[in-house]
Amino acid sequence: MTSNLKSSPSNPPNNHQNQILKTAISSRPLLIALIVLWRTLVHPYDTSSPLNLNCLSSNSLTLHHHNQNTLLSQIGSAIEDSIVWDSVYFVRIAECGYEYEQSYAFLPLLPICIFVLSRTVFAPLVPLIGLRAVLALPGYVINNGAFVLAAV
C-alpha cells in the first residue's frame, strides 16, 4: 500500500497533496449538507441549543442582540440550533467567559478566536442573524479550516 504513495516521475508528490486538498475541501459542503439533511429528518438528541441564558456577569462584553429583531431571523435560528454538544460551551465561553466550573475543561484558544472574529470580521452580520449565530460562524470557519490544513 505504501508503494502506491511513493512519488514517481509521472506522479509527483505535489499531485497527492493537491488531491488530498481537493478532497478535504469538497468534503466540507458535503458534510454541511448531511448535517442539514439529518437535522430536518430526525429530532436532535441534544436539546441544549435553545437554552441560552443571559451571562452571569454584568461586566461581560456581550452585546445583547436577540433573534427577534434581526433581519434574517430564520437563518440565525438555524445556525443557533446547530450549536450543540461541546460547541455550546465554546460559544458560551466566547460570549460570557468562564462562568461555570465545567467550562474550565475547554481550553481558551478557540473561544478567544471566536470572540475576536465575531467582533471584527463577522461583526457586520450581528444585525442580520444575531450575536449567538455570529458567535457560531467563526467556530465553523476555524474548525473546517483546521480540518483542511490538517489533511494536507
- Could you tell me the pLDDT band of residue 55, with boundaries at 50, 70 and 90? confident
Q: Could you read off the pLDDT of 94-117 as tens digits, one per residue?
A: 999 999 888 899 999 999 999 999
**Domain-located, residue 46:** yes
DSSP 11: B
Q: Which residue range is the domain that position 68 belongs to?
A: 14-151
**Domain-located, residue 7:** no
Q: Could you read off the pLDDT of 126-139 as tens digits, one per residue?
A: 999 999 999 999 99
Number of domains comprising the chain: 1
**Domain-located, residue 112:** yes
| Single-letter amino acid code for the residue at 90 | F
Q: Measuring CA to CA, how many Å separate 76 from each of 67, 71, 83, 91, 146?
A: 7, 9, 11, 14, 24
Give this prediction's pTM: 0.76
**Beta bridge partner(s), residue 11:** 8
